[in-house]
Chains A and B, each alone.
Chain A
Amino acid sequence: MQTLEALTRDARALARGELTAPEAEVARQMQICNGCRYCEGFCAVFPAMTRRLEFGKADIHYMANLCHSCGACLHACQYAPPHDFAINVPKAMAQVRGQTYADYAWPAPLGRLYQRNGLTLSLALAAALALFIWLAAEAPAGAADFYAIFPHNFMVSLFAPVFLFGVLALAVGVRRFWRDIGPATTGAPVTPPAAVETTHDVLRLKYLDGGHGDGCNNEDDAFSLSRRRAHHLTFYGFMLCFAATSVATVYHYAFGWQAPYDLPSLPKLLGGVGGVMLCVGTLGLFKLKLQRHPLHGDAAQKPMDYGFIGLMFLISATGLVLWALRGHAQMPLALSVHLGSVMALFATLPYSKFAHGIYRTASLLRHAVEKRQPNRLGLGGE
């Protein structure tokens, strides 16, 4: 146990300077991992680690956001619990990521919304649902189409500011993150090859393939592509739904074609396919998360994760109901629930799990830049 104490002492020494407990824990674990390196082939975290001998605050946040929590290094680890070294990189990284989202949230006080993120999402959803159900109740009775219930300009005036604020808040946050991790990752500027590689890695979720293509771990040490596929369905489903709305906006303003649209119009097709994908993807992610090995990730973040998955599912499910219910008497209620959940998503955009994609993309881009720079270390080992 002397060993563990020594490591804890080192970790504390680091912490005295500037590191929080989760950051110090990552630093402690990386010092051990850096002497082993067996996991180098799994993902980007370990190659990034081997370029360093010490792990400062910026390095730690950069690496934490490179981690996709695939679990491969945990199941492969000779130092994982019950070993005294208690190495659990996915968990340590997840805890720091939680801190990244909160620390870089803008405006800063709202970062606290991450502390009880399940509650944040629930309250936002309750408020948004109440708003739209109330608004629908105010609408003329028997209205058969969307704009009779909520006039187009009125909807734009509600959604646009909230959405744009969310985008602005995320942009400010990631800009600050970028400024902090930039110098820690050689400071070199982004090059086109680095940008292309990052785009590829993000869009294909490269780091959920386990490095060998068999996929990541979920409930045990077996590899599976299901999480990657479920995430793809969720992400691309979301993008198709977003595209449906964007196309509809263009139709509305550029051509004066007003919703609702009929099959086989582009918005209806995009929305239908996207909605089904999002629905299936979020259900898949939910199921996989329920089955996840208990040592994976940060248990404290489960409300945030489940809340976000649930909200996305609600949006897609109500969207599909709406898609099918046109002209039905229940349409106004379905519309209210759908718009309320979309509003809750927009309102919490910079204070929810949504942020993970933004910070992870930033880290991956810095990694693509950093790995193209010469390594200042010339290690010769065993």
Chain B
Amino acid sequence: MTTDVLVIGGGNAALCAALMAREAGASVMLLESAPREWRGGNSGHTRNLRCMHDAPQDVLVDAYPEEEFWQDLLKVTGGLTNEHLARLAIRHSATCRPWMVKHGVRFQPSLSGALHTARTNAFFMGGGKALVNAYYRSAEKLGVQIHYNAEVDAVELDEGRFVAASVMHKQPDGSVRRERIEARTCVLAAGGFESNREWLREAWGQNERGEYPADQFLIRGTRFNQGVLLKHMLDQGADRIGDPTQAHMVAIDARAPLYDGGICTRIDCVSLGVVVNREGRRFYDEGEDFWPKRYAIWGRLVAQQPGQVAYSIIDAKAVGRFMPPVFEGTKANSLPELARQLGLDEATFMQTLNDYNAACRVGTFDHTALDDCHTEGVSPAKTHWARPLDTAPYYAYAVRPGVTFTYLGLKTDDTTAVRFNDQPSPNLFVAGEMMAGNVLGKGYTAGVGMTIGTAFGRIAGEQAAKAVKAQKQGAAHANA
């Protein structure tokens, strides 16, 4: 079987690539390794797109200029980013939405409980799964050939040129039918390796306490991102980018399911209280910045704690001020009782809480601003929203690291070409999580994953179609 453009993957970036290539006139085949009901990878769990805009647009208020977006990205990545590619994605986000709407994506105003993103993030009506559904409908209508249960575990290369992919069609009876699919060009958009527990274990290794921290990680998204193709490409000598331990990682409810817990398992009360580890000690400034700017570092912080577990503690004053957790918290009428219920050392826990309570310098509490409630003389400090935990009932939520997606990927350039020994492939492109590490060396800011996926997915589709045309013209010249 042959096609002009073969897209490997079935999430946002893959769909953007497939749609763009098809619109440019190429024949397109898309291979999704998941069955239809689980299609879309992690995109199904997303909810918005971080968008640059110089003036208010439909669902976006005020302005979010390129420079501010870039500075935000620079800050969260600590400079581990590629400015050229980052700015490319940022500028792309300013113009891609009409195209998304054309393909059936609908936007809605910022959700309640996420109002501070009204300026920076355009929310998908119904969330990412609605977006994925819209793209699949549009792709089907445009004549993109879509195969589900189709996993690619190897690609044939000829000196950096894509030749064919080896596909395993998983049959309903559990058997596998293998097929070799040739294509003029190929877009790799098959996700990171976050669902591959062995790879995570290997990447994170053993810590000084003898633990394998990754064994305690929960996966917030799809179970299908096993990194099979990523590993295969790296083994084939594709240039790599990123650290395998870097990822979008959130502290989520320890009771969340192993896969696909998605957004509702997050615990949003960190900045309203304190967080202690298994030893009953605080370990980081809970009030460092607004929660939307900090939630993505807490997964990593918890991963570094003994047992990879921590407890977010609040009192009655916090109830109703944060997104309600899915699972009920541990509730107690006194702090010592809470410590006992959690199985924490009561003496250490009480010392931590008493020290913290005594250190609080309460000014005017305002959760919508970086207020003046802070601690003095306690380490780590809590620099905002610090109020003593003194009002029963008290609640605790056990949290664990929840991996959203990994940043290890293939190094690329502004054509999204896969590179070998720093030379771009003429017909092999990469998009989405498989290359997000070019922009995100570490850290995260809400909605930027979809910005990267959409921008580079579309560019990859465009480039793939362009390469097809060039090949066809080349062949015509050769025949003439």
Q: Which A residues lie at the B interface, using CB under 8 A?
A: 2-3, 6-7, 10, 31-42, 47, 50, 53, 72-73, 75-79, 82-84, 211-212, 214, 221-222, 376-382
Other than A37-B111, A78-B44, A382-B291, give 4 A-B pairs with Cβ distance below 8 A: A34-B324, A75-B133, A78-B127, A382-B295
Determine whether B37 belongs to the interface, using a CB cutoff of 8 Å to chain A: yes
Nearest chain-A residue to B257 (Cβ)?
A3
Q: Of residues B112, B255, B268, which shows the largest number of chain A Cβ atoms within 10 Å of its Cβ?
A: B112
- Are A35 and B323 interface neighbours, CB within 8 A? yes
Closest residue of A by beta carbon distance from B260: A83
Give the total number of A-B pairs whose CB atoms are below 8 A apart. 143
B470 near A: Cβ within 8 Å? no
A-contacting residues, B120-160, CB 8 Å:
123-130, 133, 137
13 sampled A-B residue pairs with Cβ under 8 A: A35-B323, A36-B263, A38-B126, A41-B126, A42-B126, A72-B130, A73-B126, A75-B130, A76-B129, A78-B260, A79-B264, A211-B106, A377-B320
Residues of A contacting B290 in the complex (Cβ-Cβ under 8 angstroms) = 380
Are B291 and A378 in contact, with the CB atoms below 8 A?
no
For chain B, the count of residues having a C-beta within 8 Å of the partner chain is 51
Question: DSSP class of B's interface residues: helix, strand, loop or mixed?
Answer: loop
Specify which of B124, B268, B327 is in contact with A381 (CB 8 Å cutoff): B268
The answer to whether B368 and A32 touch across the interface, beta carbons within 8 angstroms, is: no
Interface membership of B446, Cβ < 8 A: yes
**Contact call B112/A35, Cβ cutoff below 8 A:** no
The interface residues of chain A, by DSSP majority, are classed as: loop
The answer to whether residues A42 and B125 also contact, given A3-B256, A222-B137 and a CB cut-off of 8 A, is: yes
Would you give the shortest CB distance from A70 to chain B, in whole angstroms? 11
Q: Please give me the residue from chain B that is nearest to A2 by CB atom.
A: B255
| A382 near B323: Cβ-Cβ < 8 Å | yes
**Cβ of B95 < 8 Å from any Cβ of A?**
no
B328 is contacted by which of A10, A40, A41, A214 (Cβ under 8 Å)?
Answer: A10
Contact B266 A50 (CB under 8 A): no
Does B203 belong to the interface (CB within 8 Å)? no
Per-position 1/0 for B317-337, Cβ under 8 A of A: 001111111111000000000
Q: Is the CB of A212 within 8 A of B125?
A: yes
Q: Are the C-beta atoms of A379 and B263 separated by less than 8 Å?
A: no
| Least Cβ–Cβ distance between B160 and chain A, in angstroms | 38
Give the chain A neighbours of B325 by CB distance below 8 A: 35
Check if A6 sits within 8 Å of B320, measured CB to CB.
no
Q: B320 and A378: CB pair below 8 A?
A: yes
The smallest C-beta distance from A135 to any residue of chain B, in angstroms, reads 54
Whether B113 is near chain A, meaning CB under 8 Å from some CB there, is yes
CB <8 Å contact, B323 and A381: yes
B322: which of A76, A222, A379 is its contact (CB, 8 Å)? A379
Contact (Cβ within 8 A) B324 A35:
yes
B278 contacts chain A at the CB level, 8 A cutoff: no
Contact B113–A381 (Cβ < 8 Å): yes
Chain B residues with CB below 8 A from A378, complex form: 320-321, 367
- Kindly list the 4 A-B residue pairs having the minimum CB-CB distance in the complex, ordered from nearest: A38-B127, A76-B126, A41-B108, A35-B264
Give the residues in chain A near B264, CB-CB below 8 Å: 32-33, 35-36, 79
Q: Which residues of B contact A79 (CB under 8 A)?
A: 262, 264
Residues of A within 8 A of B116 (CB): 380
Q: B334 → chain A, closest Cβ, in Å? A: 23
* B322:A39 contact, CB within 8 angstroms: no
How far does the alpha carbon of A212 sit from the alpha carbon of B112 in the complex, in Å? Answer: 18
Residues of chain A contacted by B261 (CB below 8 angstroms): 3
Contact B114–A36 (Cβ < 8 Å): no
Distance in angstroms between the alpha carbons of A380 and B113 in the assembled complex: 5
Tell whether B458 is near chain A: CB-to-CB under 8 Å.
no
Contact yes or no, B321 A379, CB < 8 A: yes
- In whole angstroms, what is the CA distance A343 to B195 when docked? 62
Q: Are B129 and A382 in contact (CB under 8 A)?
A: no
Determine whether the beta carbon of B324 is less than 8 Å from that of A53: yes
- Of A39, A53, A82, which contacts B37 at CB under 8 A? A82
Q: Do A221 and B291 form a contact, CB below 8 Å, given A3-B257, A35-B326, A83-B260?
A: no
Q: A31-B326, A75-B133 are in contact. Are A36 and B268 (CB under 8 A)?
A: no
Q: How far is the CA of A83 from the CA of B265 in the complex (A)?
A: 14
Contact digits for B243-279, partner A, Cβ 8 Å, 1 yes 0 no: 0000000000001110011111110100000000000
Interchain CB contact (< 8 A) of B262 among A2, A40, A78, A380: A78
Q: Do the beta carbons of B265 and A35 come within 8 Å of each other? A: yes
Please, how many angstroms separate the alpha-carbon atoms of A53 and B328 in the complex? Answer: 11
**Which residues of A have CB within 8 Å of B47?**
38
Taking CB as reference atom, which chain B residue is nearest A378?
B321
Which residues of chain B in 1-23 are interfacial with respect to chain A, using CB atoms and an 8 Å cutoff? none
B45 at the A interface (CB under 8 A):
yes
A41 to B123, CA, bound (A): 10
